[in-house]
Amino acid sequence: MLVSLALAGPGFPWGTLVANVVGSFVIGFFATLSEPGGRLMASPGVRQFVIAGLCGGFTTFSVFSLESVRFLAAGHYLMAGTYVGVSVVTWLVAVWLGFVIASRLNDIGGLGALKQELENSDGDGHT
């Protein structure tokens, strides 16, 4: 699957993939940072606006769907499968990374504390 992705070249919808990965990260990060007890105070309305409105508008699921169908219609079944598989996996990883980083910020007191913790780390994540 990764080989066909590497061979995809300029016909592969890289822009859509990257936009969706970045949007997924931001959704995971903001949702976690602004959850009850999180570092960022946001009302449910603001959370919905940012997550569904801004991030939802930034991500391009409808374009992803169209590109996938076009690959299938053109008989590029491996490319379609690769695109769908890589997209779903990278979106989930990006949301998870956003969640993990924001959770860490919630736990330790913000970006300054995270930087200090990383500087004081012995390289194995132990302080």
**Residue numbers belonging to the annotated binding site for Na(+):** 56, 59
Half-sphere exposure of 58 (CA within 13 A, CB side): 16
Q: What tokens appear for 80 in the block?
A: 């379609």
Residues of each annotated binding site: 56, 59
DSSP letter string, 18-62: HHHHHHHHHHHHHHHHTSTTSSS---HHHHHIIIIIIIHHHS-HH
Q: How far apart are CA 91 and CA 98, in angstroms?
A: 11
* 51: amino acid identity, one letter: I
